[in-house]
């Protein structure tokens, strides 16, 4: 029997072997219908942003009523965002969570439910920063804001796990490398859900999984790419973190759905990091969709993936020395 490749050895399938339950498939279909209605490029970017704001908003008073101590707003210099801290959170280790939205939409108030899911899974305090959006603020604006938030957390003596979903998952990687280039301490680890890591759109899964992805589709991905890249070179490693040098990077946990268009983006990051000697876990949700751990957190695949996030944060936070 042939030996598994490094990528195969680092990959774990999560979720029921026969695929999602009927209820999960129904929820995915309903979510996908809503997503494809809201994210339709035909509406224009301003309308899509407005629809997303209405559909995703989780009012802070309601969150505080249901979850006391959450959604504490921060405005300090260039750092704007919200804290999420459960009563039993681990001390001294914070998750810097970067929201998705293709770099062109989204805000902390629209990602509160996702941040709460990650706070529960990781037992970390979660800081959800606001960052500038393209095309009004082209690259590297979002990266600069992410690094500013990372530096701010380091200055408080926190060990930091970088995390994010979709474009936010890629942005977590971009912040990792930008911070490295500025001589900042490395984060404890990185958790990237379905990272949009290759702006050249070179992933075969964009077309291979077009018929099974309920959330994304090729024309939408191209529209997002064209809008966020703003005419810059998509092969620039600062824009497409897939092409970075991963040597000496901290541990990575990457999740992708086997039915999503960005499956190969996450797998390619994992493979490149493994080739550089990085500690990598790649979780593939069997029959799962884009950003499945936080968009469908009750599904079998998501439950396993979120448990892995908790174990990952336990390990990397214990192994990392707090910054001085």
pLDDT tens track for 64-111: 555 655 667 788 888 999 998 888 888 889 999 999 999 999 999 889
β-bridge partners, 165: 193
Active-site residue, selected from the candidate residues 82, 89, 139, 166: 166
- Compute CA distances 226 → 185, 230, 266, whole Å: 33, 6, 20
Active-site residue, selected from the candidate residues 99, 193, 290, 299: 290
pLDDT tens track for 242-252: 999 999 999 99
CA-CA distance, 299 to 102, in Å (whole number)?
A: 24
Residues 259 and 213: beta-carbon distance below 8 Å: yes
- pLDDT score recorded for residue 3: 83
- pLDDT score recorded for residue 320: 84
- pLDDT score recorded for residue 281: 98
Active-site residue, selected from the candidate residues 82, 260, 271, 304: 260
pLDDT tens track for 158-206: 999 999 999 999 999 999 999 999 999 999 999 999 999 999 999 999 9
Residue 166 is a catalytic residue: yes
pTM, to two decimals? 0.95
**Residue 1: inside a domain:** no
Residue 53 is a catalytic residue: no
Q: Which domain holds residue 62?
A: 6-318
Q: What does the block give as tokens for 265?
A: 């983006």
The CATH number covering residue 48 comes to 3.40.50.1820
The answer to whether residue 2 scores a pLDDT higher than 80 is no
- pLDDT score recorded for residue 288: 95
- pLDDT score recorded for residue 98: 99
Residue 260 is a catalytic residue: yes
CA-CA distance, 24 to 300, in Å (whole number)?
A: 9
**Residue 324: inside a domain:** no
The count of structural domains within the chain is 1
Q: Average pLDDT in the 125-144 region?
A: 98
Q: Output 28 or 140, whichever has higher pLDDT.
A: 140
């Amino acid at each position: 029997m042939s030996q598994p490749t490094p990528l195969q050895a680092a990959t774990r399938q999560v979720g029921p072997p026969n695929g999602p339950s009927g209820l999960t498939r129904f929820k995915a279909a309903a979510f996908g219908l809503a997503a494809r209605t809201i994210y339709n490029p035909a509406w224009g970017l301003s309308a899509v942003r407005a629809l997303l704001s209405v559909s995703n908003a989780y009012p802070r008073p309601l969150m505080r009523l249901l979850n006391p101590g959450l959604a504490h707003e921060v405005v300090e210099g260039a750092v704007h965002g919200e804290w999420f801290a459960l009563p039993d959170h681990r001390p001294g280790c914070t998750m810097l969570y970067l929201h998705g939205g293709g770099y062109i939409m989204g805000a902390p108030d629209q990602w509160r439910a996702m941040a709460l899911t990650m706070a529960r899974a990781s037992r970390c305090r979660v800081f959800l920063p606001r960052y500038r959006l393209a095309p009004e603020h082209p690259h590297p604006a979002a990266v600069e804001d992410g690094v500013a938030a990372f530096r701010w957390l380091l200055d408080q003596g926190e060990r930091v796990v970088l995390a994010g979903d979709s474009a936010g998952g890629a942005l977590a990687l971009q912040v990792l490398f930008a911070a490295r280039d500025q001589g900042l301490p490395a984060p404890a680890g990185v958790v990237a859900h379905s990272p949009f890591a290759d702006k050249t759109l070179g992933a075969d899964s964009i077309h291979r999984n077009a018929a099974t992805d309920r959330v994304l589709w090729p024309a939408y991905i191209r529209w997002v790419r064209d809008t966020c890249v703003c005419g810059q070179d998509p092969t620039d490693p600062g824009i497409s973190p897939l092409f970075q040098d991963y040597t000496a990077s901290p541990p990575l946990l990457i999740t992708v759905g086997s039915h999503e268009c960005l499956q190969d983006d996450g797998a390619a990051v994992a493979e490149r990091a493994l080739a550089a000697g990085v500690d990598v876990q790649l979780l593939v949700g069997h029959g799962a969709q884009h950003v499945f751990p936080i968009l469908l957190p009750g599904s079998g695949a998501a439950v396993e993936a979120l448990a892995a996030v908790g174990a990952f944060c336990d390990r990397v936070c214990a192994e990392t020395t707090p910054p001085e």
